[in-house]
Amino acid sequence: MIDPYLLAFLLIVLIGSVTVYIYYLKEKNEQLESINRGFCPKCHKKSMELTDQRSSGCSGPKIVSFECTSCGYTNSFAVESGGSCGSGGCR
């Protein structure tokens, strides 16, 4: 039989981990929204540039990297590519 204190501890750790991950995703989403408007999330200047863009094919997400030319802030995001692969298509 599992000790009730151990079970309570594991439940607290699980809830804490999920809460921290949700907060991380919320912050990441806010940063991406700021970058999509053209502003750096760190220095708030309109100086963001797309530095790298990679795709794993038709069905996978696209990895995009941005850098601020003013303060040097860099970050990468996985975004849905959307649409089709164009001519040739995916099989």
pTM over 0.85: no
Task: Assess contact for 18 and 28: CB atoms under 8 A.
Answer: no
- pLDDT tens figures, 18-66: 999 999 999 999 999 999 998 999 999 998 999 998 887 777 788 999 9
Q: Residue ranges per domain, the chain?
A: 4-79
Among the four given CATH numbers 2.60.40, 2.20.25, 2.40.160, 3.30.720, the one describing domain 4-79: 2.20.25
Task: Assess contact for 32 and 49: CB atoms under 8 A.
Answer: no
Task: Assess contact for 55 and 81: CB atoms under 8 A.
Answer: yes
CB atoms within 10 A of CB 83: 7
